[in-house]
Amino acid sequence: MLTLATTTPGEAEVFASLQGEGPSIGRPSLFVRLSRCNLACQWCDTAYTWRFEGDNRAHRDDLYFARSANQVSVDEAELAARLADYAEDRLVITGGEPLLQGAALARMLAALRTGKPGLHVEVETNGTVAPHAALDPLIDQYNVSPKLAHSGNPAELALIPERLSAWAADPRAYFKFVIASEDDLAEVEALQRAHDIVAERLFVMPEGTASATLRDRSRWLSAAALDRGWRFTDRLHIHLYGDTRGT
């Protein structure tokens, strides 16, 4: 079984949209959002995947979510059959932290690829969890978003050196750093040097859940990316749909 987030109670968060971030921005994609996360970013815009009632990890909105209304268990074969009905040929598995459910994901994708052999599969991960051995060969692209100090996560949990180096050595992995202030840039530079992250696979993205905030931060962040040879990514889905589930 896979544990998915929900759009409304009992309805799994599975939807077609444009990819809003990173190297595939603007591409029509099919999304599956899994529940549960091993980190707790204080600015997380999908806190309903992990900050359930009784969870004392910090979040700036200080909201708690009922687990029963925000999680649903789905059989792997049942989910594969549902996804096969969509026309999109790009699947984005997001979360939460999807790699916490690696074995079940591998079973689902093995079944799905039988009916959609040309499917391109992306996994969005915080970079702390190694891919399950059965899952890894089924993935075309990893969108790795290591969490910087401003996320509120301790570095020993969020920035695991051996994992970052492994991702940097994997040509399928693209790094996406969420930037809230200019102070964050030095931390990205240090991580790039320490793990030999090539600039072609390093994206910086403004943090924010409102278009005005993203535009303001994009002005100086785009210039910083240009100066350093990094790639810049916006959050297209926020501009198009707002900060809503299922988009």
> Crossing angle for the helix pair 184-195 and 161-169, nearest 10 degrees?
70
Separation CA 82–CA 188 (nearest Å) = 39
167, containing H or E segment: helix 161-169
List the chain pLDDT tens, one digit each, 247 residues: 999 999 999 999 999 999 999 999 999 999 999 999 999 999 999 999 999 998 989 999 988 999 999 999 999 999 999 999 999 999 999 999 999 999 999 999 999 999 898 999 999 999 999 999 999 999 999 999 999 999 999 999 999 999 999 999 999 999 999 999 999 999 999 999 999 999 999 999 999 999 999 999 999 999 999 999 999 999 999 999 999 999 9
Residue 16 CA: distances (Å) to CA of 4, 89, 131: 16, 11, 25
For residues 88 and 19, the answer to whether their CB atoms sit within 8 Å is no
* CB atoms inside a 10 Å sphere around CB 71: 22
pLDDT reported for residue 200: 97
Q: Where are the domains of the chain?
A: 2-177
pLDDT reported for residue 63: 87
Residue type, position 64, single letter: Y
Is residue 97 exposed (0-12), middle (13-18) or buried (19+ Cβ within 10 Å)?
buried
The encoded tokens of residue 27 equal 């591409």
The fold adopted by the segment(s) 2-177 is TIM Barrel (3.20.20)
The encoded tokens of residue 31 equal 């999304």
Report which of 76, 39, 85 is spatially closest to residue 59, judged by C-alpha positions: 39
pLDDT reported for residue 170: 98
pLDDT reported for residue 115: 86
